[in-house]
Amino acid sequence: MASSYNRLIPLISGWPTILLFAGIGLLLGVVLSFTQQLEYSSTTRLLITQQLGAVDAYTAGRSAERIAEDLGNAVQTSTFYQAFLGASDGFDTNFFSSDELKRRKQWQKAVTTSVSRSSGLLTIRAFHPDANQANILAATVADVLSETGWVYSSGGNIAIQLVDTAVNSRYPVRPNVFVNGFSGFMLGILAGIGYILLQVEQLRRRHQLMHEG
């Protein structure tokens, strides 16, 4: 018990150093956030249902969930991107690189999907530096899925319905300044603790060498 307390003494007395490192980490996290391009988001939702006949609600929900996941995965494919290009109206497609590998990474970052558990609710989020372009991106992805989603699903007798139109965020959501700042703060604390412990260890070794000498 006493040994553990003795180890804590340097950390307690060194709190100004730890706080300094935490402040530096916080500042770096915030500064690095603003060196990246700020992006708005636009969110829309689709409801996927499937006619399965006489089955229980749980089975129907799980089936719709699986189909929604299939559709979400399909959104990330090159085939879907080409369908998006054919349906996009008013979206600046120059936003995406002409290089295939770079374009795939940009597309996967620009459009994300998620599925509500045990349901067929598919949420689509689009990100863009321009809020209006983000809205067009999300709405177009939803339109393509609504009209041709059955092509990307292994399930039959499915219906895809838009339940929430695309809504934009009021402020940029990426990068997340709060999360980055907090992460920098916590990493700063750990760095400060590590620095103090390293100093204590170096001091201990010096004393040990002096006694041996």
Q: What pLDDT is stored for residue 6 in this prediction?
A: 62
Strand pairing category for 121-128 and 111-115: antiparallel
* Residue 76 dihedral angles phi and psi, to the nearest 5°: -80, -5
Distances (CA, A) of 177 to 35, 70, 171, 185: 11, 32, 12, 12
13 sits in which H/E element: helix 2-13
Supply the pLDDT for residue 7. 65
DSSP-assigned letters across all residues of 31-94: HHHHTSPPBEEEEEEEEEEE--SS--HHHHHHHHHHHHHHHHHHHTSHHHHHHHHHH-SS--GG
Could you list the mean pLDDT of each consecutive 10-residue stretch along the chain, which spans 213 residues?
60 82 87 83 92 63 82 92 90 91 94 87 95 96 90 77 93 83 90 86 77 65
Q: Residue 206: what pLDDT?
A: 78
* Helices and strands per DSSP (H, E), number in the chain: 7, 4
Q: Which of 76, 49, 44, 63 is nearest to 152 (CA)?
A: 76
**pLDDT of 210:** 73
Q: Alpha carbon of 141 to those of 75, 161, 174, 181: distances in Å?
A: 8, 13, 20, 32
